[in-house]
Chain A
Amino acid sequence: MRAYLSVFRLRLSMGLQYRTAALAGIATQFFWGFLILMVFVAFYSQSSIDSPISLPQIADYIWLQQAFLALIVLWFRDNELFQLITGGNIAYELCRPSELYGFWYAKLLAQRLSGALLRCFPILLVAAFLPEPYRLNLPATFEAAILSFVALLFGLLILVSISMLIYISTFVTMSPAGSLLLFAVLGEFLAGMIIPIPLMPSWMRSIVYALPFRFTSDFPFRIYSGHIPVNEALKLLPLQLAWLAALVAVGKYTMSKALRRVVVQGG
């Protein structure tokens, strides 16, 4: 466990080095959030139809997505790991006296956390002071704030275990681009990153609720805005944990299988 912890710390401080990149990222994400929200404001401005989620709740949803983008998107990738697999340097990794799954897991986790730590605070801060329809509101209740934070952390763990599956699939396919692209596009849609899940038609929603992707971003952000009340969230939390356990188990199993037959590429 201590080995994983130090890998984690090393990666975290490495990620925190890139401050200018983070600044540019903040500006970009800010613009995106604004753009997306403007479309929603336009949609909401005219319709008298009552929608299943209110505009301030959408604003929370979008801003939290933008602020914690590094924690919730699948296309964040570590080219180093892909090169290890396709280039044959995986042999060195196998020599290390620690188990590979945990080692990579810690690495990916730290990368995402360092990315998010740099970016989230400025975005949250500025978004909280915007004029009315665009503003990021305070969390619904104190319990909701705590619970959404916990859910976000578990969601992050789920996300990393999903992306571990993508890396493991590279052992078989040897070309990361295709599987990554498909996973990323599908996962993004199913996590409610294109349009918020409450706005989807009901048949689509039943598909989304049956899959783990929604727990990474949709679930914590809706707890925050009070769209999912606290007592209901407490009921869903065990399901989230079950998904996490299942994904890690599958990842560990497939990884050990892939490693048993691993072909070291290159000469």
Chain B
Amino acid sequence: MKLFGKYLLILFKSQMQYRTSFWLMSFGQFFIPFSVFAGLYFMFERFGQIKGWDFYEVALCFGVIHMAFSISECLGRGFDMFSTLVSNGDFDRLLVRPRGTVLQVLGSKFEFTRIGRLLQSLLVLGWAVYGIDVDWTFAKAITLLFMVVSGVFIFTGIFMLVAAMCFWTIQGLEIANIFTDGGREMAQYPLNIYQKWVVRFFTYVIPFGCVNYLPLLYILGKTDGSPLLHMLTPLAGCLFLVPCVLVWRFGVRHYRSTGS
């Protein structure tokens, strides 16, 4: 953990060397989800609701997912860029060091410019929390926090899986975007607006349902049954990381070096 902190500090310093570029990128990152959110706002202005969900409810969902995505993109950038590490053979160097590979890849890169995106999602979340028709209790606030944390775990897990695929394919694959970017775009609406098979896939295979749907029901007071169960579903989402780490380990064992 101390090592992780050191990695963080060094990379932050190195990115701050290009200050103007850093601010410009952060600024741009702020606007990407902003335009998507503007689109969402316009849609609600016209239609009023989507399958019984009103604007603030969806905005809450949007804020949670985008916040989770930006945090995990910032931290998990090393996995996102992993294909270059494999294809030019630099992964060999990581293997000879006396630390775990997960930690080292995680520490190989951070994308601090995602702060723009984080800020934007924070604003949306704040607005949603302010505008939504919910009497906030401590338990509900905790659940909200769990949702974000669980989202970070799931996205990081997906980044990891995609990176583990590089052990076999060497190249990065564009199709992997379906699970990262696609997962994000999809999860920004409550899950039940989609077709059945999509909902099933994203509840049982990749547990986004544990992040944005079941706990959301609890926060909005739409549940019947034990509230505790709904509160704890985000934690179940965190378990998604376990198989991802296992696949990663499996991949590392099968790794064959490329390059000279």
A residues near B, CB below 8 A? 21, 24-25, 27-28, 31-32, 35, 38-39, 42-47, 49, 51, 175, 177-178, 181-182, 185-186, 188-189, 194-195, 199-201, 204
Task: Select from chain A the residue with minimum beta-carbon distance to B177.
Answer: A28
A39 and B42 contact, CB distance less than 8 A:
no
5 tightest Cβ-Cβ pairs between the two chains A and B: A178-B24, A181-B28, A194-B39, A42-B193, A195-B39
B residues near A, CB below 8 A? 20-21, 24-25, 27-29, 31-32, 34-36, 38-39, 42-43, 45-52, 173-175, 177-178, 182, 185-186, 189, 193-195, 198
Supposing A28-B177, A39-B193 touch, asked if A49 and B50 sit within 8 A by C-beta, the answer is no
B43 and A199 contact, CB distance less than 8 A:
yes
Distance in angstroms from A176 CB to nearest chain B CB is 10
B177 and A185 contact, CB distance less than 8 A:
no
A204 and B42 contact, CB distance less than 8 A:
yes
A35 and B186 contact, CB distance less than 8 A:
yes
Task: Select from chain B the residue with minimum beta-carbon distance to A30.
Answer: B178
Task: Select from chain B the residue with minimum beta-carbon distance to A52.
Answer: B46
A201 and B45 contact, CB distance less than 8 A:
yes
A49 and B46 contact, CB distance less than 8 A:
yes
Task: Select from chain B the residue with minimum beta-carbon distance to A22.
Answer: B174
A38 and B182 contact, CB distance less than 8 A:
no
Distance in angstroms from B73 CB to nearest chain A CB is 15
Supposing A38-B193, A42-B194 touch, asked if A25 and B174 sit within 8 A by C-beta, the answer is yes
> Would you mind naming 5 contact pairs between A and B with Cβ atoms under 8 Å apart?
A24-B173, A31-B182, A38-B193, A43-B50, A204-B42
A188 and B35 contact, CB distance less than 8 A:
yes
Which B residues lie within 8 Å of A42 (CB)? 50-51, 189, 193-194
Which B residues lie within 8 Å of A175 (CB)? 20-21, 24
Supposing A35-B186, A194-B36 touch, asked if A28 and B46 sit within 8 A by C-beta, the answer is no
Distance in angstroms from B87 CB to nearest chain A CB is 15
Which A residues lie within 8 Å of B48 (CB)? 47, 49
Which A residues lie within 8 Å of B178 (CB)? 27-28, 31
Residue of A21, A42, A199, A201 with most chain B CB atoms under a 10 A cut-off: A42
B50 and A177 contact, CB distance less than 8 A:
no
Which B residues lie within 8 Å of A178 (CB)? 21, 24-25, 27-28
